[in-house]
């Protein structure tokens, strides 16, 4: 499996079943192994859109995790003025 295919496969495995189905709607299946879909072919435009969607989903999951830590009191928010001062903004 190519590096890109492995990355897509790993990203799709991490999604919910519904999300994975939505992502794979883009795909055109090329070959079957043991009666199962084994490979896909996508136009680059669709591949780029797929990767962007996966990255957005990962970002959303990270944001939800961070908000959960804030809600549980495991982390405290950093005031915007502190950030601006630290980076000279």
> What is the tens place of the pLDDT at every residue in 25-72?
655 655 566 667 667 777 888 889 889 999 999 999 999 999 999 999
Tally of domains within the chain:
1
CB 40 within 8 A of CB 20: no
Comparison of pLDDT for 10 and 88, the residue scoring more: 88
Would residue 41 count as lying in a domain? yes
| pTM (predicted TM-score) | 0.50
Let me know if residue 11 belongs to a domain: yes
For residue 5, the model assigns a pLDDT of 64
Q: Is the pLDDT of residue 23 over 80?
A: no
* Domain membership flag for residue 81: no
Residue 10 has pLDDT above 60, yes or no: yes
Domain for residue 48, yes or no?
Answer: yes
Contact between 40 and 27 under an 8 Å Cβ cutoff? The reply is yes
Residue 18 lies in a domain: yes
Residues 6 or more apart whose CB falls under 8 angstroms from that of 75 comprise 66, 69
């Amino acid at each position: 499996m190519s590096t890109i295919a492995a990355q897509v496969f790993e990203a799709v495995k991490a999604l919910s079943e519904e999300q994975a189905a939505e992502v794979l709607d883009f795909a055109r299946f090329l070959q079957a192994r043991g009666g199962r879909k084994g490979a896909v072919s996508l136009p680059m435009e669709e591949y780029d859109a797929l990767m962007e969607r996966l990255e957005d989903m990962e970002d959303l999951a990270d944001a939800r995790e961070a908000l959960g830590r804030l809600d549980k009191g495991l982390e405290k928010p950093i005031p915007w003025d502190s950030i601006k001062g630290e980076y000279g903004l």
